[in-house]
Amino acid sequence: MSKVSTAFGELISEFLQRNSLTFRAAGLASSISAAYWKDMSDGRVPSEDVIAQISSGFDDLDANDLRIAAGYAPRIETMDTIKAVEFALRGHDSIPDEGKRQILDFVRDMEKRYEGQAGK
């Protein structure tokens, strides 16, 4: 039996609706069958390779958002910095919400301060 994730299905369904795509149109654009798009919108979790394929084919499908919703670990090296820190803070119940917010605010400030200076 295939793994099922409600969160993954919701991401796929919202993506299709937001872009006014039918299963067939998504299939033609991605080389993944319309039936498989239907299964994914119902929550069927595809392989990591399929997630990479669909996220590379559509700009507004984030591979890590899909990976997390599907139950796979995100690829931290490709993750947005803020999302990576948020992910790292999950489960750290010893840090209060206010502390987590302060950490995220600090990271945002550092991103702004050093924007365009990578590798210097």
pLDDT, one tens digit per residue, over 45-92 is 999 999 999 999 999 999 999 999 999 988 878 888 888 898 889 889
Res 97 pLDDT > 80: yes
- State residue 119's pLDDT score: 61
How many CA atoms within 13 Å lie on the side-chain side of 28? Answer: 4
Two structure tokens written together for 118: 């990578």
- State residue 1's pLDDT score: 41
Answering whether pTM is above 0.75, one says no
**For the residues 23-32, what does the mean pLDDT come to?**
95
Question: Residue ranges per domain, the chain?
Answer: 6-76, 80-114
- State residue 120's pLDDT score: 56
- State residue 117's pLDDT score: 79
Distance CA 18, CA 31 (A): 20
Fold exhibited by the domain 6-76: 434 Repressor (Amino-terminal Domain) (1.10.260)
How is the chain classified by DSSP, letter by letter? ---B-HHHHHHHHHHHHHTT--HHHHHHHHTS-HHHHHHHHTTB---HHHHHHHHHH-TT--HHHHHHHHTPPP-GGGS-HHHHHHHHHTT-TTS-HHHHHHHHHHHHHHHHHHTT-TT-
